[in-house]
Amino acid sequence: MILRLIYDETLAQASYLVGCAAAGEALIIDPNRKVEDYIALAESKGLRITAVTETHIHADFVSGARELARATGAQLYLSDMGPADWKYGYAGEAGAILLHDGETFRVGNIRIEALHTPGHTPEHLSFLLTDTAATDEPMGIFTGDFLFVGDVGRPDLLEKAAGITGTAESGARQLFRSLQRFHALPDYLQIWPGHGAGSACGRALGAIPQTTLGYEKRTNWAFEVTDEQRFVQTVLAGQPEPPTYFAEMKRVNKIGPVLVSEGAIPLPEASIEQLMADLQSGIPVIDTRPSRQYVEEHIPGTTHVPFGPIFLNWAGWLFPYDRPFSLIVDASTLRQVITQLRLIGLDQVAHVWTLDVLATWKSTRQPLGNTPQITVQEARQLLAQGQVTWLDIRSRDEYVAGHIQGSQHIHLGSLRQHLQEISPEKPIVVQCQGGARSPIGASLLEAHSYPQVMDLVGGLLQWQKAGYPVVKGAEPSYL
Contacts 24+ apart (CB under 8 A), 395-398: 395/240, 395/241, 396/241, 396/475, 396/476, 396/479, 397/238, 397/240, 398/433, 398/460
Handedness of CA 22, 25, 29, 35 (dihedral sign): positive
Catalytic residue among 346, 432, 442, 445: 432
Side-chain-side CA neighbours of 429 within 13 Å: the count stands at 26
20 is catalytic: no
Length, in residues, of the chain: 479
Separation of alpha carbons 148 and 88, rounded Å: 24
Separation of alpha carbons 61 and 9, rounded Å: 13
Q: Residue type at 407?
A: S
Of 215, 209, 181, 174, the closest CA to residue 194 belongs to 209
CB atoms < 10 A from the CB of 423, how many? 10
Burial class (CB in 10 A: 0-12, 13-18, 19+), 158: buried
User: Do residues 245 and 402 touch, judged by C-beta distance below 8 A?
Assistant: no
Phi, psi torsion values for 46, nearest 5 degrees: 70, 35
Separation of alpha carbons 384 and 407, rounded Å: 11
Burial class (CB in 10 A: 0-12, 13-18, 19+), 153: buried
Separation of alpha carbons 90 and 73, rounded Å: 16
Among all residues, which ones are annotated catalytic? 432
